[in-house]
Structure 1
Amino acid sequence: MEIDYLCNHPALIPELAELNFKEWGQFKPGDTLQARTERMRAACGKGAVPTVLVALDGTQLLGGALLIESDLESRPELTPWLAGVYVKAEHRGRGIASGLVSRIVEEAAALSIPRLFLYTDSAQSLYARLGWEIVEQLDDDGLEVTVMARDTSKV
């Protein structure tokens, strides 16, 4: 498995956008696959916020993760965020998500970002194992989520 910048593999943008849309599209009413694809294309940075990383097996997309400015409208003061961590079902349980998360933390550290945030409704234990700490629990439009943070100096 290799982790690389999505901008180095632009042909994978539609596929990753579709995976993200199918996983989380219902949480953003009015969103479309086309809009998600354009946002994914716009987020394809390298050495900056935003950045999108992908896990690959050769040319096959296994999953992806984003480093973005903001991911929770109710917490605009928290920035930047790890978001969109996704691994295709058939490749889960192989440490791919952990690898993507660790690489995003490394990217943030390289950018001198002292603290990174995320929110999750179901993967608190995964992130806790990777050094993330709970900041708060909140209701985000009917979904109970946990906001977590990670000090990037501990990379």
Structure 2
Amino acid sequence: MHIEYLCDRPEFIEELAELNFNEWGEFAPGDSLQARIELMRSACGKGEIPSVVVALQASELLGGALLIDSDLEVRPELTPWLAGVYVKTEHRGKGVASRLINHVVEEARKLGVAQLYLYTDTSQSLYARLGWEVVEELVYEGLPVVVMKFRLCD
């Protein structure tokens, strides 16, 4: 398995957008698959915010993750964010998510980011094992979520 920028592998833009939409589309009123595809295209930076990385094995997409400015409308002061961490079901439990998360953390570190944020509804324990700390718990779009941060600089 290896990790690459999505902008270097544009053939996976639509597939990753569809995976993200199928996983979280119901939580974004008015969202559509086409809007997700356009969002994924617009986030395809390289060594900047926004950017998207993908985990690949040979020519198969295993999953992806984004580094974006903002991911929680109710917390605009928190920036930047790790978002959209997704691994295909058949590849879960193999360390793919951890590698994607750590890759984005290192990208943020190279960019001089002091703190990185995320929110999750189900994966708090995964992030905690990787050194993320809880900031707060809240209800967002009717879903209980945990906001977490990772300190890159003291």
Q: TM-score range by the shorter chain?
A: over 0.9
Is residue 147 from structure 1 mapped to residue 147 from structure 2 by the alignment?
Answer: yes
Is residue 35 from structure 1 mapped to residue 55 from structure 2 by the alignment?
Answer: no
Secondary structure of 1:21's match?
helix
Aligned residue number for residue 93 of structure 1: 93
- RMSD, matched Cα: 0.8
Secondary structure of 2:153's match?
helix
In 1, Cα distance between equivalents of 2:81 and 2:134: 14
Shift of 1:6: 0.3
Shift of 1:22: 0.1
In 2, Cα distance between equivalents of 1:105 and 1:141: 26
Shift of 1:141: 2.1
How many residues in Structure 1 have an aligned counterpart in Structure 2? 154
Secondary structure of 1:15's match?
helix
Shift of 1:58: 1.1
In 1, Cα distance between equivalents of 2:90 and 2:55: 13
After the TM superposition, list the runs of 4 or more consecutive aligned residues in structure 1 that deviate by more than 2 angstroms.
none
In 1, Cα distance between equivalents of 2:153 and 2:62: 28
Q: Which runs of 5+ in 1 are unaligned?
A: none
In 2, Cα distance between equivalents of 1:153 and 1:25: 33
Identity of aligned residues (%): 65
Aligned residue number for residue 49 of structure 2: 49
In 2, Cα distance between equivalents of 1:153 and 1:10: 32
Shift of 1:152: 1.5
Q: Which runs of 5+ in 2 are unaligned?
A: none
Is residue 15 from structure 1 mapped to residue 15 from structure 2 by the alignment?
Answer: yes
Secondary structure of 1:153's match?
coil
Deviations 1:76-112 (A, max 9, x none): 0000000000000000000000000000000000000
In 2, Cα distance between equivalents of 1:76 and 1:28: 17
Partner letter of residue 137 of structure 1?
E
In 1, Cα distance between equivalents of 2:35 and 2:69: 18
Aligned residue number for residue 74 of structure 1: 74
Shift of 1:16: 0.2
Shift of 1:153: 3.3
Aligned residue number for residue 126 of structure 1: 126
